[in-house]
A and B are shown apart, each in its own frame.
Chain A
Amino acid sequence: MGEKRSNAMTRRQTLSMMGGIAAGVPLLASCTGSGDPDGSSGGSGALKWWDHKNGVWIEPTLERVMSANPDLTIEREEYPASELVSALQLGHRSDQMPDVHTAHPSLGPISVLVEEGWFQPLGDHVDLAGTAVADRLVEGVHIFDGKVYSFPLDDGRTHEQTPWVVTDRLPMDVDPEDARSWDGFRTVAREITKDNVYAIAFAAKGPNFLDLKLQQLASAAGATHVGGIDYTTGEYVFDSQPFLDAMEFILALHSDGAFHPSLGSMGPEDAAQRWAAGEAHIHWHGPWVPGVVTNNYPELLDMGFDAWRMPGPDGAPSPVHFPPPPGEFWISSASQRPEDAALAIAAFATEETFADMVNAMATPPIDPSAVDAAEDVNEPYRRNLLNLREECRYAPAPEARNPAVVQVVSEMQGINPNPAEILQGALTETIDDWRQALTEYTSSISAERDRAIEAVASDGADVSLDDWVFPQWDPANDFTADDYA
């Protein structure tokens, strides 16, 4: 009572508070993401490595690098693809980039990233001559202004149209040759759909899977295109007959009742789970499925796990075309240790890494001899990789001949619904006249590219529709680095 309230702080209170603030500063620093006090890559700590790839084949190589270089420590963080993109965008803006990272396509076109100063050259520190990747480097894709920035590890000629089956669960004997033509595939699919087990777990939830399905089946039907552009003419061909045929084929399978009825709420991972659980007979996907099965559903390996051939309209499909595979790992321009980063990256251009890729049953490596030499891989996996060599070809990359093409692509705005969304709409019956929708899309995207070309050209770039035309391209053969000359 009567005691005067004092607002002054005692010495002890002041010291406690200062101590609290001192303790809090490192905590706040740790909120910046890396905890790196100077906020930049480099220094004498661990080399920071961010990627969105399968660690099963990446980590052994990094281990080898570290054991060969005891002073070098590499801290690898594996991100889901979408998270890597946002982490890199944020890291770039806040100067908290790792030393090495992968460049997911959603990050933006590579040549624009190079132009924006995201990377530093790899070739300044290591010489790739004599490695399996040396003759796979393409100007405008891996080389910029004569300097090597990265190199590919995946072969890139990898379609996602292999029907993976569990033979012992099929309700009847099926000769895989009977399912090679589209009509044969439909017949087999109808016949094996029995007792609430459907022929195919088809992932129609997101447009990305549908996009690949449509584009690659259109290739199988004879469309000589990449991303809907026919490089013999430079025109968009989403409304061409092969695309219409591919749409009809998918919709016919749906109307046959061959697809699992929950297709609209299934992504590719859901589809794999449903297939593995025995709700469907076919998982229609890429060459990495054996790796997924080995790791997650090994019981299927003893039940006749097998790969059929990609179906084509009349049997063997026309080649599916792919651009040159992009570089895998890139040295960040923020890295203060580009020599160490280059040393670690170069270690991937070796037979050991390619063997690790095959043994992990990931996407096929760029060195085909690794597939032939591998001994302990699942037989359907190996057979499918050999099939891919027959079924896939490299197409030209317009940006490799004229980098200004990328500026046009960057300038272009998306048109919706796009072909994948049109396919989704047709499957869910929200788009009745999908042929008209494809025609309208083709017309709109062509007009949008024309506008973008005009806009980029008016800014001084030398670019025209001819940059998408490669009259010397033979779609039956690979378009190699030498063909750009």
Chain B
Amino acid sequence: MEAAYKGVLTIFLGVGGCLLYYYLSNQFLDKVLYPAKGDNAGRNINRANMIRPWLFLMPAMVALGLYLAYPVVATLWYSVTDRNQGGAFIGLANYQQMMNEPKFWEAMRNNMLWLIIVPAASTAFGLMAAQLTDRIRWGSIAKSLIFMPMAISFVGAAVIFKLIYDTRPADQAQIGIMNAVWLQFEGGVGSWLILRLLPALLMLCGAAISVYTAYGLFNAMHKKGGVILRSIGILVLALIAIAFLSLGVGALTSVHPYGEPQTWLTTPGWNSFLLMVVLIWIQTGFAMVIISAALRGIPEETIEASIVDGANPFQVFFKIKLPQITGTIVVVWTTITLVVLKVFDIVFAMTNGQWETQVLANYMFDKLFRANDWGVGSASAMIIMLLVSPILIWNVYNARKEMK
């Protein structure tokens, strides 16, 4: 309880201090420095009004500069110096050391997977949920339930999903739903249909969608140009399609250890995906809310016209609605990408980067606070910054355009 009293007291002091600053500084400006009376009243008012914006902005600018702008420079500096040599400049040695570590490349590889899968899956689920819930009467309740994980902390979600992935020895009752379901499969026809045919078909669908999108890009390239960006897109999509196909083949051919409870989180290969599920579960609601608002913002005339012209529901969705919300989807995608790049708590709480699940943010934390290697830690932070900067530039560019 003592902590509570102290907390309340400090809340009053902190917030009160802030308010007091604004009040007193304005009073000072108006009453003491440039009083709006006497001989120079007019000049004083003008001068006070020139200074006032900076009075209003000062605390924010100090905080932003100190807590966000300065660290970028400082981290850059730490990443090219060595703390043990008294902060001597050592060029790119830290980066070199980092590049030689297999754990770093593991983190990079995993981060790339996270970057592709989580935004894609969250956006896709969100789009589906938005489209479906908008059509029914209890849609708003459904929406708020799907949206709910947004309020749950990553750590809480980690506990929730650890319970799902929990493993007990074979002779005990399984309390994790994943193993309980897994033990229902015994290798018969049902297992074949659900564990082999279904995933293989899903992978085939994924491959088909990527090929179709690549084909669309190819056509657009012929019509509109933009050869470089579009060919990169096609290349990436082709790689994704190949990955889908090989996963599909794997689903058909791999040997499943039926009847044995699996330790899901410690089996390299799939465990990263199981961690991604946690973030997808959280972010889908966000995607759904934004996309649903965009869907409702589509002018109804366009939809009515297409229906009058004889479009079926699928055509309406893919050819009329989807193209009109592309901008929103890009925003959702980039927002989730930013979350993914900073994902730390989930990995930290569930596996702490063991069993080949490392990601950059956790790698960095590991270097900073466990290995106490500030140079490499800062270097990996700079890598995260580097990955974020295209989005940063894009956002600033858009904001500038809007201001004009």
Is this pair of chains taken from one and the same complex? no
Interface residues of B (CB under 8 A from A): none
